[in-house]
Amino acid sequence: MEKYNPEEIEIKWQKKWEESKLFEAKYKPEKKKFYILEMFPYTSAQIHMGHVRNYTIGDVVARYKVMNKYNILHPIGYDAFGLPAENAAIKQNIHPKEWTYKNIDTIRRQLKRLGISYCWEREVITCDSEYYKWNQFFFIQFFKKGLVYKKKAPANWCPSCQTVLANEQVINGRCWRCGEIVESKNLEQWFIKITEYAERLLDFYGIKNWPERVITMQKNWIGKSEGCEIYFFIPELNEILSVFTTRSDTLLGVTYLVLSPYHPLVEKILKFSQNNKEIEKFIEKIKRKSLTVQDILEIEKEGVDTKIFAIHPITQEKIPVWIGNYVLMEYGTGAVMAVPAHDQRDFEFAQKYNLPIKIVIKNPEWKEIPEKLDKAYEEPGIMINSGIFDGFDSEKGKEEVRKYLEKINKGKKAIYYKLKDWCISRQRYWGTPIPIVYCQKCGVVTEKEENLPIELPYEVKITGRGESPLKYVEKFVKCKCPVCGSDAERETDTMDTFVDSSWYFLRYASKDIKDKPFDKSEVNYWMPVDQYIGGIEHAILHLLYSRFFTKVLYDLGFVDFEEPFENLLCQGMVIKDGAKMSKSKGNVVDPEDMIKKYGADTLRLFILFAAPPEVDLEWSEKGIEGCWRFLNRVWKLHFEVKNYSEQNQENDKKLKIMINRVVKGVTEDIEKEFQFNTCIAKMMEFVNFLNKELSDKKVSRDILIDCWKKFIKILYPFTPHICEEMWKDLNEKNFLFNENWPSYEEIETIEEKISIGVQINGKIRGNIEVSPHLNAEQIYELIKNCEKFKKFIEGKKIINKIYIKNKIINLVLED
């Protein structure tokens, strides 16, 4: 027997797999398909344990499904655009392109070294103009459909780094890099109208199995609320103020209105109000404050009286108008009707400024209407003090008030969403150029499709300042108008990298990609993705954008499905010493070091064994050693099996039962929620059992070899290299990848005796061996005559016998 040498075995098989193009996906419309996808890596320097976990889980699924005769697509690519490449350019004085491609080479090598069964022929690199050309193409299609527009909007601006930051780079209101408080800066930006798809994105029909929390997070992010717009006339300004409310039933309890300090009417108010000095002071104060999330939570409600009045649409009463710091311009109409009796925020504000509180909803538990409330009553109830609406249940009252308002033209049904349009402009170099041209004559026009791609110029000076470096690349900026041919200028902003990742999975699903983004029939065959695997951090952004993109492509007739990912698995983080592995914490374990020390199979095994896929995994040096020992035992056992020559059949049946049990267990645990940790535990049990069995020498060679082959097959998806080696050593010619997953028989059909638990009055008193075919009565007869149970039963009357087949029998005795 040779010593187990993982490096030699693994590299040998990886080469063979590559030479035979074993994992190449083939479009076979007549075969049932399985598209297994893992979120592609961002091209930072190298892969980390999180990637290893993600990709190993995917590889087990892929290899398992192949053995179950699915036609598999298991692709990989690189998310290659993005800010870190520019930061590296500044810091290391290296061009973003060189940096990115160098990293891709490293990552590719590392993935191959892990032995993941990728179809390398379909690799996608998003910074390749062959790919981003189609970002530009889709942008133009979206533009034609009216889904793209430009507007001035506040962007996250870091005054110290002199650059715009993406939302996700703003942590608690501060810059992720330098910690400076992020400011808001108005810039012209390109937007895609994702809000037009809000309703369809809320519909998760077509999604089979996603973690509930991801769906909840998306629903919250979209944030639909149904209510009513109500119009208050302001005579002094001769303006109508529209407010949004979900509680139209409380309309008669309105005692004042509140505008956001950013509300457009504020300017006019400043002109007309006698209180304008104070208002100005207040607004100054609000705008000066840059607030972090924490601040907003702790901040006290403050406001200023405009001394201007609005007219209540129903009672015609004069309602004071205030400006308050607790009203958001970004939501609803930027103005609210305040009902302090039934809204806690309004209640606090009213108390502070001595504004009246009018109760209009009666808590059914109140015996009488209280004089004073100590907090707002926000639950439903019966409408009171509401004129013609008195006596209505508040839920029904919402409808009634709304209908009445509609009749008198003072309001209408309205739905608002938290979701904002997707800002895709980035003032950066390393991204897809937006295919827009500014022409003196024709205005803003899209580039002609035949002129794509608009290539990113290589020669550029990256400064890290707030403007796109492309602005200073004359060769890039100067162009001809695609409509009239006169001199024009290009847009210099590039696209958010989330555009790249919104359709990469379609590109994979297509072999023929010359002159088109993807092949429609092949994409319709492979899609939707049957199993998507990735981190929870993409719960909203990437997954929402991809769903949106797919729906638009459906509407444009590019694809025949609306949901890209049917099943989603979010794997947990890899942590060490209780914290996520990170350079700053100094607790990083490098996968390559581990592969050097133990081999890829051991690393894969450990990462699958230490925890179920969706929970966080605590790294353990001792744990990986345990897996190393296990594979060494398997290796040793293999040679003992191979050289075994006994023909004693005494325990053959027992061995058959064991292999059936483990095949059944592993199959079921993979099928059910990918419980790879218990699969491995079951295989370890089998190895422990077989070890003993071999020293007893009571099984026959043929049966043993047969069982061992089955075992190699089920271990294969987890640790493919060592399995290929053992497989070939048994004179098998096929790759295991092309073998069938073993079948199993139900235990009852092969097992003669089963050990069941014996309970007396619900207490376990021991075990008994019985045939699986016996019934409760027959088992009871056995127990009655069994010495160890006699003393519990003798002289007592049995009032019930509960037998759970093959598990337990409970005898209930009279007291």
Identify residues 574-593 at the interface with RNA (CB under 7 A).
none
Q: Which residue in the set 207, 533, 544, 756 belongs to the binding site for RNA (CB under 7 A)?
A: 756
Query: Using CB under 7 A, which residues numbered 143 to 162 contact RNA?
Result: none
Contact 276, 304 (CB under 8 A): no
Closest C-alpha to 78, from 124, 38, 46, 37: 124
Contact 108, 40 (CB under 8 A): no
Phi (first) and psi of residue 638, to 5 degrees: -55, -45
When the beta carbons of 208 and 790 are compared against RNA, the nearer one is 790
Contact 244, 337 (CB under 8 A): no
Which residues are within 8 A (CB) of 374 and not within 5 positions of it... i.e. 6 or more apart? none
CB of 238 to RNA, least distance (A): 24
Q: Which stretch binds RNA (CB under 7 A): 140-148, 231-239, 335-343, 701-709?
A: 335-343
Q: Which residue in the set 110, 260, 427, 546 belongs to the binding site for RNA (CB under 7 A)?
A: 260
810 touches RNA (CB under 7 A): yes
Question: Which tokens in the block code for residue 467?
Answer: 């403007």
CA distance 813 to 800: 7
List the x/- string, 280-299, binding to RNA by CB under 7 A.
-------------x--xx-x
Contact 187, 153 (CB under 8 A): yes
Question: Which tokens in the block code for residue 662?
Answer: 């483990």
Query: Using CB under 7 A, which residues numbered 622 to 641 contact RNA?
Result: 622-623, 625-627, 629-630, 632-633
Q: Which residue in the set 5, 521, 688, 743 belongs to the binding site for RNA (CB under 7 A)?
A: 688
SS3 479: strand
678 touches RNA (CB under 7 A): yes
Amino acid at 524: N
Q: Which residue in the set 220, 451, 521, 648 belongs to the binding site for RNA (CB under 7 A)?
A: 220
**CA angle centred on 613, ends 610 and 615, rounded to 5°:** 80
CB of 302 to RNA, least distance (A): 8
Q: Which residue in the set 692, 794, 795, 814 belongs to the binding site for RNA (CB under 7 A)?
A: 692
CB of 739 to RNA, least distance (A): 25
696 touches RNA (CB under 7 A): no
Which residues, listed in sequence order, are joined to residue 155 by a DSSP beta bridge?
Answer: 185
Kind plus residue range of the DSSP H or E element containing 241: strand 239-245
617 touches RNA (CB under 7 A): yes
Q: Which stretch binds RNA (CB under 7 A): 176-184, 242-250, 451-459, 707-715?
A: 242-250
Q: Which stretch binds RNA (CB under 7 A): 429-437, 511-519, 649-657, 673-681?
A: 673-681
Q: Which stretch binds RNA (CB under 7 A): 31-39, 366-374, 429-437, 683-691?
A: 683-691
Q: Which stretch binds RNA (CB under 7 A): 148-156, 174-182, 329-337, 778-786?
A: 329-337
When the beta carbons of 334 and 591 are compared against RNA, the nearer one is 334
172 touches RNA (CB under 7 A): no
536 touches RNA (CB under 7 A): yes
When the beta carbons of 178 and 764 are compared against RNA, the nearer one is 764
CB of 456 to RNA, least distance (A): 32
Beta strands 531-535 and 33-38: pairing type? parallel
Contact 627, 609 (CB under 8 A): yes
Query: Using CB under 7 A, which residues numbered 757 to 786 contact RNA?
Result: 757, 759, 761-765, 767
Q: Which residue in the set 5, 691, 775, 778 belongs to the binding site for RNA (CB under 7 A)?
A: 691
Amino acid at 294: Q
Q: What is the DSSP secondary-structure string of 670-729?
A: HHTTT-HHHHHHHHHHHHHHHHHHHHHT-S-HHHHHHHHHHHHHHHTTTSHHHHHHHHHH
Q: What is the DSSP secondary-structure string of 506-522?
A: HHHT-S--TTSSS-HHH
Kind plus residue range of the DSSP H or E element containing 62: helix 49-67
620 touches RNA (CB under 7 A): yes
Query: Using CB under 7 A, which residues numbered 90 to 149 contact RNA?
Result: none
213 touches RNA (CB under 7 A): yes
Query: Hey, what long-range contacts does 611-615 have (CB within 8 A, 24 or more apart)?
Result: 611/572, 611/677, 612/673, 612/674, 612/675, 612/676, 612/677, 613/53, 613/57, 613/569, 613/571, 613/572, 613/674, 613/676, 614/211, 614/569, 614/570, 614/571, 614/572, 615/572
Contact 202, 221 (CB under 8 A): no
Q: Which residue in the set 334, 381, 469, 517 belongs to the binding site for RNA (CB under 7 A)?
A: 334
CB of 105 to RNA, least distance (A): 33
Q: Which residue in the set 477, 513, 611, 705 belongs to the binding site for RNA (CB under 7 A)?
A: 611
223 touches RNA (CB under 7 A): yes
227 touches RNA (CB under 7 A): yes
CA distance 502 to 422: 13
Q: Which stretch binds RNA (CB under 7 A): 127-135, 208-216, 311-319, 498-506?
A: 208-216
When the beta carbons of 228 and 523 are compared against RNA, the nearer one is 228
Site size toward RNA (CB under 7 A) is 79
Distance, CA of 662 to chain centre: 33
CB of 593 to RNA, least distance (A): 15
Q: Which stretch binds RNA (CB under 7 A): 42-50, 194-202, 223-231, 449-457?
A: 223-231
Query: Using CB under 7 A, which residues numbered 410 to 449 contact RNA?
Result: 416, 418
CA distance 337 to 360: 14
When the beta carbons of 209 and 521 are compared against RNA, the nearer one is 209
Kind plus residue range of the DSSP H or E element containing 383: strand 382-383
Q: Which residue in the set 70, 331, 561, 644 belongs to the binding site for RNA (CB under 7 A)?
A: 331
CB of 76 to RNA, least distance (A): 27
List the x/- string, 479-518, binding to RNA by CB under 7 A.
----------------------------------------
When the beta carbons of 734 and 767 are compared against RNA, the nearer one is 767
Kind plus residue range of the DSSP H or E element containing 630: helix 621-642
When the beta carbons of 70 and 221 are compared against RNA, the nearer one is 221
Amino acid at 638: H
CB of 791 to RNA, least distance (A): 8
255 touches RNA (CB under 7 A): no
Kind plus residue range of the DSSP H or E element containing 574: strand 574-576
Q: Which residue in the set 212, 374, 515, 815 belongs to the binding site for RNA (CB under 7 A)?
A: 212
12 touches RNA (CB under 7 A): no
Amino acid at 207: I
84 touches RNA (CB under 7 A): no
Q: Which stretch binds RNA (CB under 7 A): 73-81, 484-492, 608-616, 722-730?
A: 608-616
793 touches RNA (CB under 7 A): no
Handedness of CA 651, 654, 658, 664 (dihedral sign): positive
190 touches RNA (CB under 7 A): no
327 touches RNA (CB under 7 A): yes
Question: Which tokens in the block code for residue 207?
Answer: 């999604």
SS3 content of the chain, % helix, strand, coil (to 5): 40, 20, 40
Place of tokens 């996906």: 25
Q: Which stretch binds RNA (CB under 7 A): 43-51, 70-78, 353-361, 688-696?
A: 688-696
